[in-house]
Amino acid sequence: MHKSLKKIDEIRHCRKQDSLKETIIVGMNSCGIAAGAREVYNILEEEIKKGGLDIVLKKSGCLGACYAEPLVEVLAEGMPGIVYCNIDKSNASKIISRHFRSGEILQNNVYSFSEGLSPKKNRRKFIFIKDTDCSSSDKEDEYTELFLQEIIKTESSSMVHAAKTEVISLYNKGIAVKIWPDNIVYAGIKKTDIPRILKKTVEGTQIDSLIHKAGTEKYPQIVMRNCGRVNPEDIEDYIGRGGYTALEKVAGGMTGEEIIKELKVSGIRGRGGGGYPTWQKWQFARDAQGKTKYIICNADEGDPGAYMDRSVLEGDPHSILEGMILAGAATGATKGFVYIRAEYPLAIKRVYRAIEQAEKYGILGKKIFGTHLNFDVEVRLGAGAFVCGEETALIASIEGERGTPRPRPPYPSVKGLWNNPTVINNVETLANIPEIIARGGKWFSSFGTKNSKGTKVFALTGKVRNSGLVEVPMGITLKEIVFNLGGGLGSGKKIKAVQTGGPSGGVIPVKHLDTPVDYDSLHKLGSIMGSGGMIVMDEDDCMVDVSKFYLRFCVDESCGKCVPCRIGGFQLLDILSRITHGKGNDDDIEKIKRISHTLIKASLCGLGQTAPNPVISTLNYFKEEYIEHINKKKCRSGVCHELLDYSIDQNPCRKCDLCARTCPVGAISGNRDEGYKIDPVKCIKCGECFEVCKFGAVIKK
Amino acid sequence: MVKTGELKKIVSKWKDKEGNLIMVFHEIQNRYGYVPRDVSMKLSEMLDVPLARIYEVLTFYNYFDLKPPGKHTISICMGTACYLKGANELLKKFRDLLNVSEGETTQDGLFKLNVVRCLGCCGLAPVVTIDEDVYGKVQKEDIPDILAKYAVKEKNA
Amino acid sequence: MKNKKIKAKIAGIEVNVKEGTTILEAAKTVHIGIPTLCKHADLPPTAGCGICVVKIKGSPKMLRACCTPLENGMDIITQDPELVEVRRTILELILSNHPNDCLKCGRNNNCELQTLAGDFGIREDSFEKLLRNLPEDKSTKTIELIPQKCILCGRCTNVCQQIQDVWALSFLERGFYTRISATGDIELAESPCIKCGQCSAHCPTGAIFEYDETQKVWDALMDPDRFCVVQIAPAVRVGIGEEFGYPPGTNLTHKLYAMLKRIGFRGVFDTSFAADVTIMEEATEFKRKFEKDKKNLPLITSCCPAWVDFMEKYYPDMIEHFSSCKSPHQILGVLSKTYYAEKNGIDPSKIFMVSIMPCTSKKYEITRSSEMSSSGYPDIDVVLTTRELGRMIKQADIRFKHLPGEDPDNILGEYTGAGVIFGTTGGVMEAALRTAYKMITGEKLKDLEIKKVRGLKGIKEATLDIKGTKVKAAIAHGMGNVGTVLEKIREAKKAKKETPYHFIEVMACPGGCVGGGGQPYGVNNELRQKRAAGLYSDDRGHKVRCSHDNPYVKELYKKFLGKPLSEKAEKLLHNKYKKRPVYKR
């Protein structure tokens, strides 16, 4: 056995021992750090030191639930594994004092729970409570309280404990409880059930009639398998969790053909937007003539509202490196580039570090694992140009030029970087590869639908309650994602639409929420999978404004090389701006269609070809909103300022004069006796009066 | 002022690598906060790259500045989540308070106002960063206090 | 692999082309037209405009014909209502971003965008006008940059960067705000621009345009105190006809003399005569070095001012190898204000010398150093390009067709076959070798036509046996090719080896002056060849084909200059070079 392989064996052995120790893991991706995770980490470090405790304290990447950051995972003897949310300097030390010392759970901070270190040695049982209906107001607080009272009443607090949890992996099943460590799930329980649930739990038996069987399994985590679990700055942690196993297979004799065959069997398609079968890209590059070939990891993630790539780079950089080395082994490439957005400093730092460590452990460089495989990876930084996510523009950028797309064909896999065959895969795609090779293509293809295999990570944001990253198997419905994982809308308003695919995608109206999320179904609805942005919109979001937002993004990011995108996009934006400013014309919709058609058909690259998608899809599903803006000069969502009318409701008005004094154009007249009025002709709709009125007497609609 | 020695160090690190231009700009900007013209002229000579190429690349990428930045850089995230949660209103407020447009630096050189693409903290939307500090779930009422912190720091310094 | 043939259909017609041929090129082979705007025959496709979109039968997608290679079995649709609609929309989008002040534009009637707009019958502004205020750049006084008219096709940057290797022009910013500008937002005059004008010759619109000086000439012609004289460069005679419907390469020398006289010039000369003088000087320089100072070879020709500018900026180490000889039109200019003035008793201060040149850089050359006024008067007062002359003729509305040919004023007008081939790449070398051979050996070169120096290959090499010594000549045209030749010299010098070449001819523009930046629009290699052929046939038609045999040149030396490289010749006909900064700011 080669010495580097031997070392890996030793690491795995050693880590296995470590994994039995009590551990605290602090999620320290940029978003976690932004929310204060570093402070939390420091407090915990201090507490552990002070108490002389034998607890492993680790940093990790993102745990997904961005809305509840900072997140801290705690593994203590005889306790369930708990992921705490919203931990800050006020409660961080309680993790030590309460959780470890007293075996109690921080009641209000449980995000999710797991089996934990050694459930059999449990000190007592735990009942986790969650209200899985998001239409009703949450009742978990109430139920938790009832359970706690019942525990006190029955004097069973030494036997059992109760706490609410954010995540229970059930949806629309009323109040659900899960019992640890018995792994019993009751759904749709009523208040009257509480005493007997408690009784049976203490007894160690169950109530068969209440048991919920189906649908409690967790979604497979492939891309995010290590995020939040490994220390991204420690290669041994990755190895300890089975990292580089796929590469060992190659060292053991797996050929390039075989790697590609596994990919073919797996059915994986590119996660960056186009959805091109990954094995085909690799095959083309393998078959292409040429001594020098390249692998590029496209980490120029730039869709507004998508950040799964950053999360993987920050949380599990070695999985990307392993994916790239495997691509090298499959295609004959010996050099890789990771092209990362400069706006992701932490990701850059962690990738650099990962490369450094991989080189040290003989995983990058010459004769990897003693084989004939050579592979080096270099980091190249983007510089604020979204278009560089497009393959040929990315290549131009790495070559040190303006990031303008080049005509295809020739395709990069035949003639790419410096005219050599080049495979370009995005971060999420590459993160899947090691698992596919390690566990087999067939395993991977068991997730998803016929034409969309595996899982997809979505950045669920917008008006959804729980925004964050979710990894789900392809084919689950939008509804499941929004309501089950996202917890429905946090705004209390009605959902209007879900936008997928970012600026290249489309808006899917609420009537299509039962659509399964896969490449083909989304395409049919005029949207795309894209890189995985998923933005939930409610009644307060104006569809014309939303399409203007996305279009402005594309116009700002157009490289300017070709006419349809450069001028067409700008014209389109100009028309939309006019419409939202109340200056729309009757023929605007026709013009929008005409320009959009030209953009789609005649733009050189995907940026231009897809830029009209948000416009087309909103026009398709929400045409009446456009017509209202144009004909009635009205914005039903109240977003387009200039289409609002301000007036004063005399009832709540206390005649304080503040609005009249504030109005910058003197449009409000009146006096303290007779009240005030807004002159609609003079009014510039700045909204100042609305802002200053303390009594809600200024109405805008 | 730009030191030739420093420049030489950066250049020698990258000179033999293909497609080095953007990486060199990154190092320059990290060092000086922007890419000064005299540096570009020297780079042109040292890397044997025409000045025209340097500028066509520099001006293509938003990340590079040709003018010295403000002392503090305010970045307002315009990702979708932030936009839907009112980032535009925040921008307006900053513009009014600082009397500058996006991309500009205040007259006292204290703040540069930037609009940036998704920072990837959508959970904290709307997000504003000032230098390394991240402000999440910002309300426009918070802005004067936030700015004051930096102005006070400046006064005390 | 390379010779693999592609069989496909374009507009229903079967085509057989080499692998790698684009749809656009393939369509041409079967005479199928596909409208284009940004594509230029000289340049690789930039894929900028999108006008050339086509479809494959059965697919809704559109492809750009300019940059998509034809593949086996493709069935290409070049025209259908959808394609026309998309092309029209693109065109209207461009027009919404263009000043459309055609009537006042230099390219009126000669603009590729205007032609397309006419073809597509665009009658209204469908879209909002989106114009940006971008400053014009007239700093060089040779070519003007009017960025507002630029459609960002990328031809000029491509020519300037890739073909000419000058890098004076580039795009700045991006997206809708992309604009054309001199190096990093300075003015062209401060940039490495060598004023070759290839950008202006390739620009499809009026965004880059020669600095128009026709009015100055009209004013001088109107001024009774001025004695206006004119000279025409070799390449002009075979280019000007294109402006008036003559087939490319038609030689209009004598009609042009007549035309200029009609317009009001009192002396009509021919730069080809001065080319003969140049050869006398240059060949003598070569002889001197060849016989006494071989280590100072190669000798490099200096009649192209764009090349001189380039050398002074990028290859100042080559100054010692440069022929100190002024360019032919400067020589003619100085002779007109000395020799001609003396002979005809004209006050040289009254003489107003106009050069008609295929070149924009000549506009710059006339003031490039004090030696350009070595007689005490500027050698040349105004330079007009072929295109400007075309406009003057149109303004005067004199028709070539019915104009009988006339002769020039002989003492500065009679030229040899050697003088006239100066207008094409390889011509200066050929003329010089004819005379140098005679000067060194005393014998006449047997075969005057040195075929190896002719043609459009970027770098040409030829060896001539002179008295048992093999003289190695190199010819480069298109500035991008020059570096290759000069690097060889630099290397040999560094290694202290024998020089790989003894004599080098350089012309900045591809094809030499026939393809000059001031020649009529629409240049491509076919045109360059035809224009050159016009000059070679002029050479063949001359009885006297060697400069040293020109009787008027002999008389000039006998009566005025003495002999080549005499003190007087050195003072009037030669100049010095100096290192100049590449960037002035």
Alpha helices in A362-440 (DSSP H): 391-398, 427-439
Confidence of residue C184 (pLDDT cuts 50, 70, 90): confident
Residue ranges of chain A assigned to CATH 3.30.70.20? 644-700
Per residue in A308-366, pLDDT (tens digit) is 999 999 999 999 999 999 999 999 999 999 999 998 888 999 999 999 999 999 999 99
Phi, psi of C393 (to 5 degrees): -65, -40
Q: Across the A/C interface, how many CB contacts are shorter than 8 Å?
A: 103
Q: Which of C160, C173, C183 to mutate to test the interface with B (most CBs of B within 10 A)?
A: C183
Contact C171 A567 (CB under 8 A): no
Per residue in A569-608, pLDDT (tens digit) is 999 999 999 999 999 999 999 999 999 999 999 999 999 9
Q: In degrees, to the nearest 5, what angle opens at C-alpha A631 toward C-alphas A629 and A632? A: 70
**For the structural domain made of A455-632, what CATH number should be given?**
3.10.20.600
For C178, name the nearest residue in chain B, comparing CA atoms only. B60
Residues forming beta bridges with residue B113, ordered by sequence position: B74
The dihedral sign for the CA sequence C455, C460, C466, C470: negative
Better pLDDT: A696 or C334? C334
Q: Give me the helix-helix angle, A588-602 and A613-621, nearest 10°.
A: 140
> Which of A555, A557, A595 lies at the smallest CB-CB distance from C89?
A595
| Residue A10 CA, distance from chain mean position | 35
Looking at residue C174, what is its pLDDT? 95
A400 touches chain C (CB under 8 A): no
Greatest mean pLDDT among A407-411, C246-250, C435-439: C246-250
Under 8 Å CB-to-CB from C70, ≥6 apart: which residues?
C6, C8, C10, C15, C17, C21, C22, C23, C26, C76
Contact A34 B78 (CB under 8 A): no
Confidence of residue A135 (pLDDT cuts 50, 70, 90): low
Kindly write down the DSSP assignment for every residue of A114-150, as one continuous string. Answer: E--S-GGG-SSEEEEEEE--SSSPP-HHHHHHHHHHH
For A500, name the nearest residue in chain B, comparing CA atoms only. B80
**C584 interaction partners in chain B (CB closer than 8 Å):** none
Kindly write down the DSSP assignment for every residue of C328-360, as one continuous string. Answer: HHHHHHHHIIIIIHHHHT--GGGEEEEEEES-S
For C179, name the nearest residue in chain B, comparing CA atoms only. B56
- Determine whether A203 is exposed, middle or buried from the number of CB atoms within 10 Å of its CB (0-12, 13-18, 19+): exposed
Minimal CA separation from B19 to chain A, in Å: 4
Looking at residue A434, what is its pLDDT? 97
What gap in Å lies between CA A138 and CA A136, rounded to an integer? 6
Residue C4: count of CB within 10 angstroms of its CB: 9
> Which of B22, B80, B123 lies at the smallest CB-CB distance from A400?
B22
Looking at residue A137, what is its pLDDT? 58
> Which of A307, A404, A502 lies at the smallest CB-CB distance from B122?
A307
Per residue in C438-479, pLDDT (tens digit) is 999 888 888 999 999 999 999 999 999 888 888 999 999 999
Q: In what order do the strands lie in the sheet with A175-180?
A: A160-164, A125-131, A175-180, A184-186
Instruction: Give the strand pairing for C382-385 and C351-357.
Output: parallel
**C94 interaction partners in chain A (CB closer than 8 Å):** 563, 567
Contact C173 B54 (CB under 8 A): no
Looking at residue C291, what is its pLDDT? 86
Q: Across the B/C interface, how many CB contacts are shorter than 8 Å?
A: 42
Chain C positions with Cβ closer than 8 Å to B: 161, 167-174, 182-185, 191-192, 582-583
**C169 interaction partners in chain B (CB closer than 8 Å):** 52
Looking at residue B113, what is its pLDDT? 93
**C128 interaction partners in chain A (CB closer than 8 Å):** 571, 574-575
**C45 interaction partners in chain A (CB closer than 8 Å):** 407
Helices and strands in chain B: count of H runs, count of E runs: 7, 4
Residues forming beta bridges with residue C300, ordered by sequence position: C322, C504
Q: Which of C80, C127, C179 to mutate to test the interface with A (most CBs of A within 10 A)?
A: C127
Find, among C577, C568, C573, the residue nearest to C277 by Cα: C573
B118 touches chain A (CB under 8 A): yes
CATH 3.30.70.20 fits A644-700, yes or no: yes
Contact C130 A604 (CB under 8 A): no
What gap in Å lies between CA B110 and CA B94, rounded to an integer? 13
Residue ranges of chain A assigned to CATH 3.10.20.600? 455-632
Prediction ipTM score:
0.93
For C193, name the nearest residue in chain B, comparing CA atoms only. B52
Contact A397 B119 (CB under 8 A): no
pLDDT of residue A493 exceeding 80: yes
Q: Which of B24, B118, B128 to mutate to test the interface with A (most CBs of A within 10 A)?
A: B118
C-alpha distances in Å from residue C525, one per residue of A119, A252, C66, C358, C509: 83, 59, 18, 16, 12
Looking at residue A29, what is its pLDDT? 86
Superfamily of domain A18-210: Glutaredoxin (3.40.30.10)
Contact B121 A66 (CB under 8 A): yes
Contact C167 B40 (CB under 8 A): no
Under 8 Å CB-to-CB from A557, ≥6 apart: which residues?
A302, A385, A386, A387, A503, A607, C175
Contact B60 A559 (CB under 8 A): yes
What gap in Å lies between CA C454 and CA A629, rounded to an integer? 69
C112-133 average pLDDT score: 94
Q: In degrees, to the nearest 5, what angle opens at C-alpha C35 toward C-alphas C34 and C39? A: 100
What gap in Å lies between CA C569 and CA A674, rounded to an integer? 102
> Which of B21, B61, B121 lies at the smallest CB-CB distance from A384?
B61
Under 8 Å CB-to-CB from A681, ≥6 apart: which residues?
none
Contact C93 A574 (CB under 8 A): no
Contact A467 B81 (CB under 8 A): yes
Question: What is the share, in percent, of chain A residues with pLDDT greater than 90?
Answer: 65
Q: In degrees, to the nearest 5, what angle opens at C-alpha C394 toward C-alphas C390 and C399? A: 100
Classify the phi-psi angles of A456: left when phi > 0, otherwise alpha if psi is within -120 to 50, otherwise beta.
beta
Query: What domains can you pick out in chain B, each with its CATH number?
Result: 4-60 (no CATH), 72-156 (3.40.30.10)
What's the whole-number average pLDDT of chain A?
A: 91
Contact B116 A461 (CB under 8 A): no
Per residue in B6-54, pLDDT (tens digit) is 899 999 999 999 889 999 999 999 988 899 999 999 999 999 999 999 9
What gap in Å lies between CA C345 and CA C339, rounded to an integer? 10
What's the whole-number average pLDDT of chain C?
A: 94
What's the whole-number average pLDDT of chain B?
A: 89
Query: What domains can you pick out in chain C, each with its CATH number?
Result: 5-79 (3.10.20.740), 95-210 (3.30.70.20), 215-573 (3.40.50.1780)
Structure tokens at C116: 């397309």
Confidence of residue C1 (pLDDT cuts 50, 70, 90): very low
CB A58 within 8 A of CB A25: yes
Residue showing tokens 């002029």:
C538
pLDDT of residue A217 exceeding 60: no
**C183 interaction partners in chain B (CB closer than 8 Å):** 50-52, 55
- Contact partners of B by the rule of 3+ C-beta pairs under 8 A? A, C
Under 8 Å CB-to-CB from A556, ≥6 apart: which residues?
C175
In this structure, what DSSP letter does residue C507 have? E
C-alpha distances in Å from residue A561, one per residue of A330, A550, C48, C151: 35, 20, 6, 10
Kindly write down the DSSP assignment for every residue of A257-305, as one continuous string. Answer: HHHHHHHHHHT-B-SSSS--BHHHHHHHHHHS--S--EEEEEE----TT
Minimal CA separation from C197 to chain B, in Å: 17
> Which of B37, B41, B52 lies at the smallest CB-CB distance from C167?
B52
In this structure, what DSSP letter does residue A453 have? B
The dihedral sign for the CA sequence B119, B124, B125, B127: negative
Contact B81 A66 (CB under 8 A): no
Residues forming beta bridges with residue C241, ordered by sequence position: none
Q: Which option is the CATH number for A235-445: 3.30.200.20, 3.40.640.10, 3.40.109.10, 3.40.50.11540? A: 3.40.50.11540
Structure tokens at A532: 């995985």
What gap in Å lies between CA C22 and CA C4, rounded to an integer? 14
CB A339 within 8 A of CB A393: no
Would you name the residues of C annotated as active-site residues?
Answer: 282, 285, 303, 323, 362, 365, 371, 513
Minimal CA separation from C38 to chain B, in Å: 20
B128 touches chain A (CB under 8 A): no
C-alpha distances in Å from residue A676, one per residue of B151, C32, C34, C108, C422: 39, 74, 67, 62, 88
Q: Which of B51, B60, B67 to mutate to test the interface with C (most CBs of C within 10 A)?
A: B51
Residue type, B100: V
What gap in Å lies between CA C114 and CA C100, rounded to an integer? 9
C-alpha distances in Å from residue B53, one per residue of A339, C162, C480, C492: 21, 12, 16, 30
> Which of B25, B118, B124 lies at the smallest CB-CB distance from A304?
B118
C-alpha distances in Å from residue A25, one per residue of A59, A160, A232, C537: 6, 26, 12, 87
Terminal Cα distance for chain A, rounded = 75
Chain B positions with Cβ closer than 8 Å to C: 37, 40-41, 44, 50-56, 58-60
Per residue in A617-641, pLDDT (tens digit) is 999 999 999 999 999 999 999 899 8
C338-356 average pLDDT score: 96
pLDDT of residue C46 exceeding 60: yes
3-state helix/strand/coil string of A530-574: CCCEEEEEECCCCHHHHHHHHHHHHHHHCCCCCHHHHHHHHHHHH
Terminal Cα distance for chain B, rounded = 23
Alpha helices in C366-443 (DSSP H): 386-396, 417-420, 427-441
Residue ranges of chain A assigned to CATH 3.40.30.10? 18-210
What gap in Å lies between CA A246 and CA A95, rounded to an integer? 37
Per residue in C355-404, pLDDT (tens digit) is 999 999 999 999 999 999 999 999 999 999 999 999 999 999 999 988 99
